[in-house]
Structure 1
């Protein structure tokens, strides 16, 4: 198996899931109403609100209705693209104000650097928006890591549990799927990537997991091109 590119998930893979659920999500939830009321006329926000109305099936929904919908989606951990894009905008101010930095496991930081220096192209595929991905890596615990990555993908390209998304990513990267390794902590995502032809590794950081995917505890245990 020759791996020329690595596609990695973020939450639970490069980043502690608690950072997302105990820092980022609560921050967005707390600041969302005020942010929307202050920025409702911004072009980027207008586009998000239009998309949210389509998801709700309420083309005439007013701002307060939309605020309630967004908060409800956060409470239910819904993978709604409009919500992900809005959260990304809200997190900009959090990162820029240094209210927090993007968590990264030490081994992820070390090996992402190592692989990139070996000439392996790195890509990200997360349910969080591309904007949110770049914010996390751009304001990480280890500084700006965005130069490490050759590209970012979110739910605009497809759902993470559907093989078609991984086929589209392989096509966009310009490599056969068999030369791409996907890293994730979610079996259903790995199943979809494998169906598309990618190599897969399951990150089980907290406790052992039985799986027909290769299982590792950290990036250090991932052997490439062996």
Structure 2
């Protein structure tokens, strides 16, 4: 069956894990409290704070909510209010020219090739949709966002839950065997396969744990040539 769409992870797949953990996360953490204070009246920030309280089941002051968010960063929690707030902070960083979205050198060529071949491209990452668009919209290779047909984050479900991938298939209006999911994480690939998708694991570096159950590639040159 021909592949008509590609759904790709970001960290360790299109982009370096180190960029996220050593550049983006510290940038957001350093500015988190000041951003909350400066934008406390914004509807989007108020919603983030309400969501934090809902998860913690407690009424929190702004500083207490900031404590929780900083703890979630340290724990690398994949929680929607944290990811949403990080995306807001990163947005200011990209706009100020302090951040540049990282993608591997082979990523733009592969995305453009697949797009030119008529395949639909989607992103599914634990980072917010807004953060995903910022990464791909501010790369040294130009704005890559026009190549994508859609973006998905934790609002559609967890990345190790097959139901999330079924929801993506429903959105794309394609059967699973016509959709290829790319990731460096075996448990995510397992969930995508359970939902009926084709899968391929990227082994970009020694941070990736090979899962023999899935086909593997060291970079995009070996993916849908």
* Counterpart residue number, 1:82: 81
Aligned ranges 1:191-206 → 2 under 5 Å: 191-206=190-205
How far did 1:68 drift? 0.3
1:182, 1:49 → 2: CA distance?
33
- Counterpart contact for 2:186–2:211, Cα < 8 Å: no
2:35, 2:114 → 1: CA distance?
39
* Counterpart residue number, 2:17: 17
Aligned ranges 1:45-124 → 2 under 5 Å: 45-58=45-58, 60-124=59-123
How far did 1:3 drift? 0.4
How far did 1:211 drift? 1.4
TM-score normalized by structure 1? 0.96
Q: Secondary structure of the equivalent of 1:147?
A: helix
Between Structure 1 and Structure 2, how many residues are aligned? 223
1:210, 1:50 → 2: CA distance?
39
Unaligned runs of 5+ in 2: none
How far did 1:210 drift? 4.9
Judge which range, 126-135 or 206-215, deviates more. Answer: 206-215
* Counterpart residue number, 1:175: 174
Q: Secondary structure of the equivalent of 2:69?
A: helix
- Counterpart contact for 2:186–2:210, Cα < 8 Å: no
Q: Secondary structure of the equivalent of 2:182?
A: strand
After superposition, the C-alpha distances for 1:138-196 in whole angstroms (9 at most, x for unaligned) are 11121211100000000000100000000000001110111100000000000000000
* Counterpart residue number, 2:188: 189
Q: Secondary structure of the equivalent of 2:122?
A: strand
* Counterpart residue number, 2:212: 211
After superposition, the C-alpha distances for 1:16-43 in whole angstroms (9 at most, x for unaligned) are 1010001000000000010001111101
Aligned ranges 1:108-187 → 2 under 5 Å: 108-187=107-186
How far did 1:223 drift? 3.1
TM-score normalized by structure 2? 0.97
Q: Secondary structure of the equivalent of 1:205?
A: coil
CA RMSD of aligned residues (A): 1.0
After superposition, the C-alpha distances for 1:96-136 in whole angstroms (9 at most, x for unaligned) are 11112100111111100100011000000000000000011
Q: Does the C-alpha gap of structure 1 residues 74 and 50 become closer, same or farther in structure 2, counting only changes over 3 Å?
A: same
1:210, 1:124 → 2: CA distance?
21
Unaligned runs of 5+ in 1: none
* Counterpart residue number, 1:30: 30
